[in-house]
Amino acid sequence: MISPVQNLSQPLILGFDPGRHKCGLAVMGLDRILRHQAVVPAATVMATIGQLRQDFPISLIVMGDQTSAAEWKGQLGQLPDPPRVLLVDERYTSLEARDRYWQMYPPQGWQRLLPQGLRTPPRPIDDIVAILLIERYLTRLTGSP
């Protein structure tokens, strides 16, 4: 986890990939610098989001539009000072996240010899999906990748 920065000159975006058992979270600015990422149990995600909103100047939550999005959006609306929540197309983000994982964490040792399609990330990648959701929103917003 990257430590919170108190004197940020820009608002931050929270990416949220909701799931039944675990959820991915990421905090990123308009500058596309990643400030936080985590995979947390679904049972504790609302408390985690509350803490992240205290630690970072989050102005918006972007969330995938598929996995029970309406239910999660309703829960987010019950937070104190409810945040603005936008739904983002999350099609193919799981596949993209696998590729991005290997870009962020290149394989070591004998795994370098395996073709990328045969490698499986050694941990959940829901946080990377959350990063991709923010990037999709920013691309839509600015028109540039």
**Which superfamily does CATH assign the domain made up of 12-142 to?**
YqgF/RNase H-like domain (3.30.420.140)
Mean residue pLDDT of the chain comes to 88
pTM: 0.88
* Spatial distance between the Cα atoms of 94 and 132, rounded to a whole number of angstroms: 9
Q: What is the pLDDT of residue 9?
A: 64
Kindly report, residue by residue over 77-86, the tens digit of the pLDDT: 888 888 899 9
Which of 37, 23, 20 has its CA nearest to residue 131? 37
The domain ranges of the chain are: 12-142
- 58-81 tens-digit pLDDT: 999 999 888 688 889 989 988 888
